[in-house]
Structure formats: structure tokens, C-alpha cells
A and B are shown apart, each in its own frame.
Chain A
Amino acid sequence: MNGISLILEFKEDLDKKELVGTKCRACSSVSVYPNFYCRRCGNTNFEKVKFTGKGTLITYTVLHAVPSRFKENAPLVIGLVELEEGGRISAQLDASEDELSVGKKLEAIFQKRDGRILLKFKPLGGT
């Protein structure tokens, strides 16, 4: 598994509406976005982990000053999510401010944007 293919595969899986991360074969540490060296033990040998997409909201913000290409979507609701299998990912949230609180249960959704898939999270069981 070389560097280029790790990231490419992660993105190709996303485009297929799948969230697939890596698990270190040496120490079992789970990562969502792939690294080349395990952050815990430095090993470079990983196996794939397919996530259910369920997780918990660790922290969040409502961002009003957004980069140019997201201008029409402002404000962006952004959060850091810890997935139930381990590993964390930051992403836009499909939720209003009143629905959010630290510790809220979320699930991943895959939204079409500009011909790619944008990973987002919404409250678990919500519409």
C-alpha cells in the first residue's frame, strides 16, 4: 500500500458513498483520513476499516466567514466527529445550531457537490 493509493482509495470510496479508513496492523489504532505512518506506533502496515458512519459530536462551530467557493452555502456548520469504531473526522454538519450539542449522536451522509461526494453528518435518526 503506497502513499498515493492510500489517499486515492479513500476518496474513491467516498465517491461510492462509503467511508473507509485504516487500522494499523501493529497496534490496532484506527484512522479515518489515511496516514502513511501510524501516529501511535510508526508502522506503515494498514488494513481497511469500513465505518458504519455512526459517531459522536466532539465539538462544532457555525462558520460565517467561508472560503469563496462555499459562499452560497454560508453559514457552514462544521463539526469534529468521533466514529464509533474509533478515529475522528472533521466535516460539515447537516443540522441547525439548535440541534447541536457536544456529545450528540450523528450519522454520515453523502451529498453530491460539483460532481464529487461531500461527506457530511446529520443527527442520528433525524430527517
Chain B
Amino acid sequence: MKGESIFITGVGQTKYGKLKGQSLSSLIYDAASMTLLDASISRSQIDALVISNLASNRFNGQQNLTALCADVLGLSGIPAFRSGASSASGAAAIHQAVMMVKSGMFDNVLVIGVELMTQVSTDVSTSILANSTHPWEQEQGITIPALAAMCTRLNMLHNGLTREQLALVAVKNHKNALLNPLAHFHHKKVTIEDVLNSPIIADPLRLFDFSPRSDGAAAVIISSEKSIKKFCDQPIYIKGIGAATDIFAYMNRENLMSLDATHLAADRAFKMAEITQREINILEVHDAFTPLELVNLEDMRFFKRGSAGKALEDGVTERNGQLPVNVSGGLKAKGHPVGATGVGQVLELTLQLRNEAGKRQVTGVDTGLAHAIGGFGNNVFVTILSRS
């Protein structure tokens, strides 16, 4: 980006999964304290907080997370803000922090994403998640999975997307998660048969096409150029950010087969980063449902329309392929504690770029892209990171 550079100087996250005995406070504390340790920065150097969370009001009866977070971290007194971009809140929070530091008003902003959502029943969870849809859609009982299913049907009809390709996305991401000790499904291997035999959720999508409900927290520290000189050995550059909304209700869009907001957000991020798709060597893509990974890779123009599935079949997006996607396990297998998800994606890319990703390290990566979706594609955020 032009002018002063902005950096990620610390990352940390809890395990993702059905976490017993946790509270919002304990998750926030765990993720944040690990992040401060990773950054080798003391709490007193943090000058603002940005919190990301989907629905603590309905999941946990807590509607004042900003003040809670400052208090839990012994940072009462500093400014604290909350992002709200549905399932892309984590990415939105990072973008907000980048803008806060870029403005010159803050030097070190701690971004914390958290969700504690597995304590309610599936029915209640389904209803809460459906609050991200248009009022009309909500009144008809149309959930985001239903919208994703309708979009998938059209891609199968017109763009050659196959049921097997969708299954492969789940298989790949689960395989990747076997190497991620903090993943929700760290121990779960999934085969194509498992996916195709799993119960139908929203035809043609099945249970194993869906990311799980997960608890968890992830945090990053966004710092100024001035600040990193004092403490950071291996700062990672935020090269570009881009965000875009789309028409809220699926029924009102011209494009029913892919996400225009993904295309727009990615273009904006590439423009700010002054690079193209060619420079990206690793991606984290919002695979809340398996079709989204393939369709959005095409929306970001990494593959021609209808070709991302074949690329996966050819191994291109596998961990050892030319363009690894969701090495962390993605939302599908690493997990989807909604407020934390977008932050966790940037954490993964940071570890990969620093060569700290352990068994799942991809060799020779220097530029990564994280893509996060809010609602059914109506608020999308793209973040580009690099080593230099």
C-alpha cells in the first residue's frame, strides 16, 4: 500500500471446537495473552481494541463485548470498538484496525475475534444464524444454507460443478486439518463416500458440505511502521485490503450464480497491494459451504468460471499443489467460531509467511490472501499479506 506500511506483529488463538467450561472472558483472555506473548509486546503498548463477534447477545446474553474485553485484559481505559459484518466480522475487525493504525491515531491495535456458540441447540443456532438474511427471507424460513443450495444448483446446471467436486473440497480441508492441532476436526478423516452419504441439509448440500458450529477465539496485533522498530523481529506486511457489499437479498441480484462482492473486494485489495493474482501463493477462502470455496476462487479470478473444481481434482489447490487453499483446514475442518473465523484466517497466513506453520508449512510462500464472507455474499472482505 502507498505511504506508511501496516504490519501484523502478533497472533494467537485458542483451539476451535465444542469447548466445555469456557466463557467469553476465558476465550478472550487465552487468545489475547498468547498474542501478546507472540508479539513480545506488553499490554501497556496496546492503544485500542477491536472486537469481532457475531451474536453474543443471543448466544450468551452479552451485548457489551467491547467493555467486557477491555476489562478482561486489564486494559480498561483504552478505546474499544466492535465490528459487525455477520460471518465476516473477523476480517472486518482487521480492516478497521488497519484503518485506525493507518490514520496515525493508533500504533498497536489488538483485534480479538470470539464466538461461544455451541451451548445452544441446533434449532436455536439455525434461527440465530438466519438473522443474517433479508427480512423477507427470514419470514419465509429461508436460511443461508437454503440460499447456498439454490446457488449451487445453478452452478451444477450451468457451470459444470459436480457433486463429487464439492465432496473433494471437504476431503481436502479435512486432510489439511489433520496437521492443525488447533483445528476443530484435528482427528477426523473424511472420504468422498462420507460426504455423499451424509444427511441432506439443503438439497443438493449435505451435512459434510457444511462447516461446524465451533467455539473459539483468535487475535492479531496490527502495528504501525513506527511501532515495529521497537519490538518486532518478523513483522508481516498488510499489503492490501478490499471490501464490498452486495444486494442484500439473493432474489434481488442480477448474478445468481456467484458473488459479485467477492470479485469487487478482491479487485480493491489487489489494487491497493499493487499486485495481481499471479503473486498470491497461498489462500484462506471462506468455505462455510463447500461450493463457496470453488465459486469464490473463480470470483477472484484465480480460475475461469467452472474450472476451480477441475483444478482441485488436478491437485492444484491441495496443500502441496501450485496454489494451496485452506491449508489450515478452512472453515470446514479448522472450524467456524463465527466472530473468530476471519481473524483465524489471517493468523494462518501469518504463520505460513513466517515459516511457523509446523507440519502443515507450505514451502516458498511469500504472499497470501484471506477471503471472508458476511451473510450470503452481501459483505465480503479480502486481505492480502506478504513477507515484504
A interface residues with partner B (beta carbon < 8 Å): 31-33, 35, 39, 58-71, 73, 76, 78-80, 88-92, 97, 102, 118-119
Contacts and interface: CB of A to CB of B under 8 A. Distances in A.
Given A66-B141, A78-B140, A78-B146, A59 B154 contact: yes
A63 B143 CA distance: 9
B145 A88 contact: no
Contacts of A118: 140
B252 A92 contact: no
A64 B202 contact: yes
Contacts of A61: 146, 149-150, 153, 202-205
B247 interface: yes
Contacts of A90: 136-137, 140, 142, 249-251
Given A33-B252, A58-B256, A65-B143, 4 more contacts: A39-B252, A69-B127, A88-B252, A90-B137
B124 to A, nearest CB: 7
Given A90-B140, A92-B140, A97-B203, A63 B146 contact: yes
B251 A88 contact: yes
B123 interface: yes
Q: DSSP class of A's interface residues: helix, strand, loop or mixed? A: strand
Nearest to B201: A65
Nearest to A90: B251
Contact of B201 (A31, A64, A68): A64
B145 to A, nearest CB: 6
Interface residues of B, number: 34
Contacts of B316: none
Contacts of A102: 153-154, 157
A112 B19 CA distance: 43
B320 interface: no
Contacts of A64: 199-202
Which are the 9 A-B pairs with shortest beta-carbon distances?
Answer: A61-B149, A70-B141, A59-B150, A62-B203, A90-B251, A67-B127, A68-B123, A63-B146, A63-B202
Interface string B173-211: 000000000000000000000000001111111000000
A91 B141 CA distance: 9
Contacts of A66: 126, 141, 143
15 contacts: A39-B247, A58-B256, A59-B150, A61-B205, A62-B200, A62-B203, A63-B143, A64-B199, A64-B201, A65-B126, A66-B143, A76-B146, A78-B140, A92-B140, A102-B157
A71 B122 CA distance: 12
B362 interface: no
B141 A76 contact: yes
A62 B204 CA distance: 8
Nearest to B154: A59
Contacts of B204: 61
B350 to A, nearest CB: 34
B34 interface: no
Nearest to A60: B150
Contacts of A67: 123, 126-127, 130, 138, 141, 143
A118 B139 CA distance: 9
Contacts of B151: 59
A58 B253 CA distance: 13
Interface string B238-268: 0000000001011110001000000000000
B303 to A, nearest CB: 23
Contacts of B127: 67-69
Contacts of B202: 61-65
B145 A60 contact: no
A80 B157 contact: no
A78 B142 contact: yes
A91 B199 CA distance: 24
Interface in B109-159: 122-124, 126-127, 130, 136-138, 140-143, 145-146, 149-151, 153-154, 157
